[in-house]
Amino acid sequence: MVFASAVTFLWGLSDACLTNFYLCVCGFQFDSKTLPYSVLRSVQSFSTFIFIYLESLVKNKLQFNIYLGVTAVFTVFAWLIFAFTFDMREVKP
């Protein structure tokens, strides 16, 4: 039960990180408000398919640890980009 709770918490942290990351990229960094979200939805659907396929190939504990480690590195990378790269632009009326 402790392992399941920890994995659920880490999944939530990773999901929140990625959601904040792509909403900031699409919402604040582009002048167009429709094109970034269109590209986002197509890339998100494709990457979801790829990651579900990769998860289905995980068969033993070593492969699971490698997959979980790569996911953790990507999550930390996304949080770091979110924290140190983006400049908030003021909306001018």
pLDDT on residue 9:
81
Nearest to 68 by CA among 80, 83, 81, 58: 58
Nearest to 75 by CA among 2, 26, 4, 9: 9
pLDDT on residue 62:
92
pLDDT on residue 90:
64
- Tokens standing for residue 38: 């269109």
Mean pLDDT by 10 residues, the chain (93 residues): 78 73 67 74 80 83 86 78 67 63
Domain ranges of the chain: 19-84
Nearest to 74 by CA among 82, 64, 85: 82
pLDDT on residue 28:
65
